């Protein structure tokens, strides 16, 4: 299934509001090369608060939080008037304190589901000829695409937003 190019543009915009904000330090070891995870050089409490803030700014509602296990599940939907589609995003984030105690490993995965509006039709006919005619103000949404979001730019935008919030919170405290 193809991911709607408007969805990608919207998500990149949402998650990368400030690309040029100062970033916190990251461990750049080869074990951390995956674009869906990072070792953030902040404590687990700071990261937890920043993750909640990042999700809310991104219009994702936090569905469940299991702080003890270090898991957040968030969901959100975006309606596109032009194409009459609804795209739902589900994001799961794992955050675990590292052995050093002053860093947190953040790992995330996201999936999407796109639904398109279809119109109900009625039949109009005479003299043995019947034509389908769309009935206004009726219809239903039908699944048109779904899958995991594997776009590194999308995740980079998420982590850039997280970086910005961590930096702002750190500056408020100091």
Confidence of residue 138 (pLDDT cuts 50, 70, 90): low
Report pLDDT digits (tens) over 22-40: 433 333 333 333 788 999 9
- Euclidean distance between CA atoms 91 and 113, whole angstroms: 12
Percent of the chain, pLDDT > 90?
36
Closest CA relative to residue 22, chosen from 44, 45, 41, 49? 41
Closest CA relative to residue 149, chosen from 27, 3, 10? 3
- Are 135 and 119 in contact by the 8 Å Cβ rule? The answer is yes
**How many of the other CB atoms lie within 10 Å of CB of 48?**
20
Confidence of residue 123 (pLDDT cuts 50, 70, 90): low
Tokens of 52: 């909640």
pTM of the model: 0.66
Q: What is the pLDDT of residue 75?
A: 95
Closest CA relative to residue 162, chosen from 49, 65, 33, 64? 49
CA atoms lying within 13 Å on the CB side of residue 16? 14
Q: What is the pLDDT of residue 136?
A: 59
Whether the pLDDT of residue 48 is over 70: the answer is yes
Q: What is the pLDDT of residue 33?
A: 39
DSSP characters over the chain = -PPPHHHHHHHHHHHTTTTTSPPPPB---GGG--TTEEEESS-HHHHHHHHHHHHHHTT-EEEEEETTTTEEEEEEEEEETTTTEEEEEEEEEEEEE-TTSS-EEEEEEEEEEEEEEE--EEEEEETTEEEEEEPTT--EEEEEEEEE---HHHHHHHHHHHHHHHHHHHHHH-
Report pLDDT digits (tens) over 88-119: 999 999 999 988 778 999 999 999 998 887 76
């Amino acid at each position: 299934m193809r991911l709607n190019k408007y969805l990608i543009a919207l998500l990149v915009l949402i998650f990368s509001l400030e690309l040029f904000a100062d970033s916190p330090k990251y461990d750049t070891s080869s074990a951390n090369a995956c674009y869906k995870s990072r070792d953030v050089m902040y404590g687990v409490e700071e990261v937890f608060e920043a993750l909640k803030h990042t999700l809310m700014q991104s219009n994702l509602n936090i569905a469940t939080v299991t702080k003890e296990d270090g898991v957040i599940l968030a969901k959100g939907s975006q309606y596109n008037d032009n194409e009459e589609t609804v795209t739902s995003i589900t994001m799961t984030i794992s955050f675990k304190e590292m052995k050093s105690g002053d860093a947190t490993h953040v790992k995330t995965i996201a999936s999407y589901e796109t639904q398109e509006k279809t119109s109900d039709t009625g039949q109009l006919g005479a003299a043995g000829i019947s034509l389908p005619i769309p009935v206004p103000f009726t219809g239903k949404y039908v699944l048109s695409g779904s899958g995991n979001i594997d776009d590194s730019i999308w995740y980079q935008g998420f982590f850039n937003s997280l970086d910005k919030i961590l930096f702002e919170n750190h500056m408020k405290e100091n």
